[in-house]
Amino acid sequence: PGDFAVEGDASSASYFLALGALGQGPVTVKGAGRDSIQGDVAFAHALATMGANVMQGADWIEVRGIDTDDGYLRGIELDCTAIPDAAMTLAVLGLFATGTTKLTGIASWRVKETDRIAAMVCELSKFGAEVSFGDDFIAVKAPKHWQVPSGGVDTYDDHRMAMCFSLAAFGPNSFHINDPDCVSKTFPNYFAVWQSIVSQKDQQV
């Protein structure tokens, strides 16, 4: 018998760290940090590169808004081979960034719960984003004119599609996420936790 520290899921942490960058901060995630053995903890570095104010300790990460001069996230180009799940969060953040957010090394998206490259292209386009893609990359430019997704955002029975598109609620329009219960695969109470963080805000999803 003994005591063991089990890290939190860095992939799922990405959505809450992103909330911190989208004005809901400070948001602190405990249980995964600078000393984590999980590849997806590198999402914090990517978020900082986009201009977020990110701090880390051995087992925690905190995000306090955006540090750029104009107050907007910056588009980045990043090899996401080591962070394929958290890369989906970066793709949705591309809706809020200046310039282009290009994510490479994501060929594995094709063989996840759904073809995530095709799914992300379709759903991001519903918001008016300019999206290009290939076998192992996706590039996102923020909408010039935000659109309301006709028929809502489809999730393809893919928990990560539902969770990452919750961030799009910080655009100018309300919309529906279809089949939000698909998050039960890994995070059944995701939307309750999400709502607890943004409950004082006027966002709806």
Q: Could you report the per-residue pLDDT of 141-184, keeping only the tens digit for each? A: 999 999 999 899 999 999 999 999 999 999 999 999 999 999 99
C-alpha to C-alpha distances, 23 to 15, 27, 66, 87, 108, nearest whole angstrom = 13, 10, 8, 20, 31
59 is catalytic: no
DSSP class of residue 149 equals P
pLDDT in tens, 118-150: 999 999 999 999 999 999 999 999 999 999 998
Angle at 189 between CA 188 and CA 192, to 5 degrees: 155
Residues making up the chain, counted from first to last: 205
Q: Does the pLDDT of residue 204 top 50, yes or no?
A: no
Is the distance from CB of 11 to CB of 86 less than 8 angstroms? yes
What average pLDDT does the segment 95-99 reach? 98
pLDDT of residue 202: 41
Q: pLDDT for 31-68, tens place per residue?
A: 999 999 999 999 999 999 999 999 999 999 999 999 99
Whole-number pLDDT of residue 199:
75
Burial (CB < 10 A; 0-12, 13-18, 19+), residue 146, is: middle
Nearest to 170 by CA among 20, 12, 11: 20
**Tokens read off for 177:** 């996420």
Q: Is 187 within 8 Å of 198 (Cβ atoms)?
A: no
**Whole-number pLDDT of residue 200:** 52
Position 203 pLDDT exceeds 50: no
Q: Is residue 205 scored above 50 in pLDDT?
A: no
The pLDDT tens digits of the residues spanning 5-35 come to: 889 999 999 999 999 999 887 999 999 999 9
Dmax over CA atoms of the chain, in Å, equals 59
Catalytic residue chosen out of the listed positions 40, 85, 154, 158: 85
For tokens 């039960």, name the residue.
Answer: 184
Exposure string over 105-142, b if 16+ CB within 10 A, otherwise e: bbeebeebebebbebbbebbebbbbebebeebbbbbbb
